[in-house]
Structure 1
C-alpha cells in the first residue's frame, strides 16, 4: 500500500472511531471498564494502559480513564498506570498527526498559523511543558495539534510524562477516594480531604506556572537603546493607549502602538520574524502582553524594565511624539 493510501485509510479509521466515541459519550461507563479490566487478572494493568492509549487517540475523555485507574489500582499504581497510558496515547496521536498531515501543513500554512507554528517550534519542550501544566487546549486535541509541528518526539514524550504527573496524581486519587467512599471505612473522610487538597493544588498550579514563567527576558532601557542602534533591532511594541502614546512621556521612535485591550485582535500587525520589545508606562501591562504573545506563538519577547518612565528618565534614548 502506498503512503498516500495508507494516510487516507488512517484518516478514515480515525474519523470513524472519533465519531463513534463522540456519538456515544454518554454511554461510556467507568464501572463497566473497571469490571472488564479486573476480569483480565494479571494482564489487567497492561490492558488498562492499552485501552487508555487508544482512548486518547479516539478522543475518549481522559478524566474517565484516570478516575477508573485510581479506583482499580489505588493512588500509587493507579497514578503510574494512568501516566503510562496517557503518555502512550499522547505519543500515538502525535505520531499519527505527524505522519498524516505535518508535511501538508508545513507547505500550506501561512499568516497567523505559520507564525503560531514557528513560535511553538522555537519554544519546543518548554511549550509542551507549559500547555501540560497550564492546559489551554483539551488534552486529546492538543496531542494532534502538536504533531503538526517539528517538536522532537523524545522531548515531546518526556515532557508530556513529567508535566502531566501532578494532574494524574490528583485525579487518580479522586478515583481512589470514590472507591473508598463506596466501600466505607474509617479513613473515608481523610481520603476525601486529601483528594480535595490535591485538586486544589492542581487548580492553583496554572497561576503559579504563569507567574514563574514570566516574559522570555527583561531588557533595561539603556540596553534597548543599544539594540535599536544595532544591525537587527527589535520591534518595539507600545501597549499603552493612543493618548498615552502621544502624551507627556511620548514614545520610542518607530514604536508600534498596539494597546493591550486591542492586542489580541491585531496580532497580524506584529512581524513574525523579529524579536519584540514591549513597553508601557512602567512594565505591568507589558508583562501581561508578553504572556499573551508567548501563548500565541511569539518566541522572542522582552519586557522593557521600568517602561517609558525609565526611558524618559535618561536610561534610554530620546523619545518621539509622532
Structure 2
C-alpha cells in the first residue's frame, strides 16, 4: 500500500513539473542561463549536465540546450557535455516510466499495444538506435515511451549515448558557429558551412538507416534448404487467393494472406512476431510492400523471397497446384 501511494505521489509530482515546464518554457532565457552557468567556473560542465538532465526529465526543449552547450563549451567539450546530459536525462525518464507505469501498461495493454511493445522489445537496442538516429518522435516523450516497453536498461542506455552522437555533434557545432558569428571570430563562413554540412548529414540519416534496417533478401535456394531442414518459419504468400491456387501453384508450406488484406489481418500473425517470416509473391514486388507493413507492426525477422514463385519454378522444384474450376 505504501509503495502504491509513493508511486502515485511521484507521478503527481512529475506530472506537475512537466506541466509547469510546458506552460512556462517560452520564458526560458537561454542567454541568462548561459551567463549563470559560466559564473560557476570549474563546476560549469557539471552544472550544465545536471540542468540538461533535469530539462529532459521535465520536457525542456533539448535543441535550445544543445545549442547553448555548443556556445558555452565549444564543439568538442560541448558535444561531450550535451551528450552526457541528454543521456542522463533519457535514463532518468526511462527509469521513471518503468517504475511508475510499465507494470500498469502491461496489465492493461490491448492486443495492438502488446504486439507493438513486444516488437520493440524484440528489436532491443536496434530499435533504440533507429529512433535516436531518425527522430520520429520528440526526444523527451520517446524517453518515457521506451521505459514502458520491455527493452533492457543497459542496451537502451548505450544505444542512446552512441546513436545520439551525430545529432549532438551537428547541433553543438551549430551553437558554437553561432557564438563565433556573434563574436566576429575568424573563419565564420567556413564554420557556418561546416555546421550546415553536419546538419545535412543528420538530415540524410533517415534514408540511410531505413536502408540498413532492411533484412537481406532470402534467395529461393536458401528458403528450400531451410524448409528441407525442417526449420520453423512462416512462408507467407501475399498474392491474391486466385493467384495462390492458380497456374503457378504455391509452396506446400505456404499460408496465403493477400497483401490487400494484410493491414487488417496482421493480428493473425502475432505468434510469428519474433520468428522468421518469408514473404512470397509472383516475383517480389508485393512481398516488398508486405515486408514494410510487417516491419511497421513490429515483426523482427521478415525476409522477401527474391524472385518469388517465378524463381522457385525456374529451379523445377515442386509446388502444390490447385487450379480454380471454370464455370
TM-score (norm 1): 0.89
Contact 1:224–1:316 (8 Å) recurs in 2? no
* CA distance 1:289–1:192, change in 2 (3 Å): farther
* CA distance 1:59–1:141, change in 2 (3 Å): same
SS in 2 for 1:255: strand
1:149 matched to 2:160:
no
**Mapped partners of 1:111, 1:134: distance in 2:** 26
Contact 1:280–1:308 (8 Å) recurs in 2? yes
**Mapped partners of 2:287, 2:95: distance in 1:** 37
1:267 matched to 2:257:
no
**Mapped partners of 2:217, 2:316: distance in 1:** 15
Contact 2:236–2:277 (8 Å) recurs in 1? yes
User: Deviation string for 1:277-306 (max 9, x for gaps)?
Assistant: 122333344345434423431112122122
Give the equivalent residue in structure 1 for 2:294.
293
Contact 1:122–1:299 (8 Å) recurs in 2? yes
Contact 1:132–1:163 (8 Å) recurs in 2? yes
1:134 matched to 2:114:
no
Q: Give the Å deviation of 1:219.
A: 2.6
Give the equivalent residue in structure 1 for 2:281.
280
The number of residue pairs the alignment matches comes to: 320
Which residues in structure 2 correspond to 1:95-114 (within 5 Å)?
Answer: 95-114=95-114
1:85 matched to 2:85:
yes
TM-score (norm 2): 0.87
* CA distance 1:223–1:20, change in 2 (3 Å): same
SS in 1 for 2:136: coil
Which residues in structure 2 correspond to 1:172-191 (within 5 Å)?
Answer: 172-191=172-191
Give the equivalent residue in structure 2 for 1:221.
220
**Mapped partners of 1:316, 1:6: distance in 2:** 65
* CA distance 1:262–1:40, change in 2 (3 Å): farther
Give the equivalent residue in structure 2 for 1:302.
303
Which structure 1 residue ranges, 5 or more long, are not aligned? none
**Mapped partners of 1:32, 1:263: distance in 2:** 55
Deviates more, 1:33-42 or 1:79-88: 33-42
* CA distance 1:258–1:90, change in 2 (3 Å): farther
**Mapped partners of 1:283, 1:307: distance in 2:** 5
* CA distance 1:55–1:231, change in 2 (3 Å): same
**Mapped partners of 2:145, 2:152: distance in 1:** 14
**Mapped partners of 2:16, 2:316: distance in 1:** 62
Contact 1:129–1:159 (8 Å) recurs in 2? yes
1:49 matched to 2:49:
yes
Q: Give the Å deviation of 1:153.
A: 1.4
Give the equivalent residue in structure 2 for 1:125.
125
Cα RMSD (Å) of the superposition? Answer: 2.5
**Mapped partners of 1:177, 1:189: distance in 2:** 9
* CA distance 1:250–1:121, change in 2 (3 Å): same
Contact 2:241–2:256 (8 Å) recurs in 1? no
Deviates more, 1:78-87 or 1:283-292: 283-292
